[in-house]
């Protein structure tokens, strides 16, 4: 999977709690850049892009937000609402952050410096580059086409039963 939730270890003392990020312990990459989002309206959708070269670690250090991710085939949504849970995203993952609480501070660590060239803002371009999505050129008899549709529905139900969302119908075109 190109993303996963990570539990962060905290160190408590009598007057504070400390959470540290260390390469190969709770951060799967060397941190090159850190940024954070705050005072984000609850009706704003941030992200809406993929990155060719960057990996990310996202932590809601205060408040909460939701993050929707996709690899072009599978789409999954996460609630970030604890400073002790981080969402790791690999390269070439489409991401959208939304439903920000008024007090949300979303801390983001990444393995690269900023480069506008690595951003993909068009979902169709993302699908082509990542190999996700399917373009199907069909001239089939209706019986075979019906069988394909039943198989896609089966896959969709299978993914739903595992709290995943099959996005085959979003990115497949029957011509």
Closest CA to 56 of 46, 42, 44: 46
Closest CA to 126 of 60, 32, 44, 48: 48
How many CA within 13 A on the CB side of residue 18? 8
Of 39, 49, 159, 162, the active-site residue reads: 49
Would you call 17 helix, strand, or coil by DSSP?
strand
**Catalytic site includes residue 159:** no
| DSSP E strand boundaries for 39-133 | 46-51, 56-62, 65-70, 74-80, 85-89, 94-98, 105-110, 119-120
Q: Which residues are catalytic?
A: 49
């Amino acid at each position: 999977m190109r993303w996963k939730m990570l539990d962060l270890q905290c160190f408590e003392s009598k007057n504070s709690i400390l959470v540290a990020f260390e390469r190969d312990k709770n951060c799967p990459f060397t941190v090159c850049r850190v940024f954070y989002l705050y005072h984000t309206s609850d009706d704003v959708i941030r992200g809406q892009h993929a990155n060719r070269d960057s990996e990310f670690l996202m932590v809601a250090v205060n408040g909460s937000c939701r993050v929707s991710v996709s690899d072009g085939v599978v789409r999954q949504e996460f609630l970030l609402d604890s400073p002790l849970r981080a969402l790791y995203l690999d390269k070439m993952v489409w991401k959208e952050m939304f439903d920000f609480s008024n007090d949300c501070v979303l801390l983001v660590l990444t393995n690269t410096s900023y480069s506008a060239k690595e951003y993909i803002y068009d979902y169709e371009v993302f699908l082509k580059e990542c190999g996700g999505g399917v373009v199907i050129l069909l001239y089939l008899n209706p019986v075979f086409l019906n069988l394909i549709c039943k198989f896609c529905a089966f896959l969709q139900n299978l993914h739903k039963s595992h709290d995943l969302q099959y996005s085959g119908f979003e990115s497949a075109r029957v011509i």
